[in-house]
Amino acid sequence: MIRQNLETVEENIQKACERAGRNREDVTLIAVSKTKPVSDIRQAMECGITVFGENKVQEIRDKTEEITEPLSWHMIGHLQANKVKYLPGKVCMIHSVDNVKLAEEIEKQFARHDMKIDVLIEVNVAGEESKFGLSPKEASDFVKEIAPLSHLNIRGLMTIAPYTDNAESNRVYFKALRELKESINGMNIPGVRMDTLSMGMTGDYEIAIEEGATFVRVGTGIFGERNYAAAQNIK
């Protein structure tokens, strides 16, 4: 099932790139393996997938202990400052930076290991109360405030669009995030040059690609529906 799903996702990504006049190489598929067992991840690896996304620090810790192959792990979920200390050496990017306390803790923990980490600023473009992230109006000032943190590479923006049965309705949010990235780049903030947009999930990644996504985060579309009860026992 995972192989077939990946073939379908790859075909959809290719077609979306063609429609947008983009190169396929400009879009990275993140296989979102949250709540999924190592056996599923290994099936995806056998299909050539090397980039995986997790929502919880504990899952990253558990899975990277068992899977020692060189993969790119992305922290895509809400991150608490007291969990940052477990991430140096485990992840290559943090997608969900949305407050100064968190940014400063990332700086502190990665500096301790003499490491730099790529980060994305999470923006709640749709203004949903149930979601984390800065408002679009707050984003540029936030970037200016944390730009001096020398162990953070601010690479771009991330958003989680509303859940909808009509993917086209999310185009406005993806377009807005792309325009926000371009606006911030135009400010020429010292040390900041954004080239990354993490947007689009199983239900709307094709629209996100058409609007400029460089990372798409696909979980259910690859691994199937999640069993959150079973996930409590994942190692």
Max CA distance (Å), the chain? 47
CATH number of residue 103's parent domain: 3.20.20.10
* The token pair that represents 98 in the structure block: 């949305």
In a domain, 85, yes or no: yes
What is the domain range of residue 48? 2-222
Please check whether residue 57 is in contact with residue 87, taking contact to mean a CB–CB distance below 8 angstroms. yes
Per-residue pLDDT of the chain (235 residues; tens, 9 = 90+): 999 999 999 999 999 999 999 999 999 999 999 999 999 999 999 999 999 999 999 999 999 999 999 999 999 999 999 999 999 999 999 999 999 999 999 999 999 999 999 999 999 999 999 999 999 999 999 999 999 999 999 999 999 999 999 999 999 999 999 999 999 999 999 999 999 999 999 999 999 999 999 999 999 999 998 765 544 554 4
In a domain, residue 151? The reply is yes
Q: Which token pair is 119?
A: 């980060």
What is the DSSP-derived secondary structure letter of residue 95? E
Count: domains in the chain: 1
Whether residue 143 lies inside any domain: the answer is yes
Q: Is residue 207 part of a domain?
A: yes
The two structure tokens encoding residue 176: 């807005």
- 229 assigned to some structural domain: no
Query: What are phi and psi for residue 109, nearest 5 degrees?
Result: -70, -40
Chain centroid, CA 25 distance in Å:
17
Residue 215 in any domain: the answer is: yes
* Structural domain includes residue 231: no
For residue 227, being part of any structural domain is answered with: no
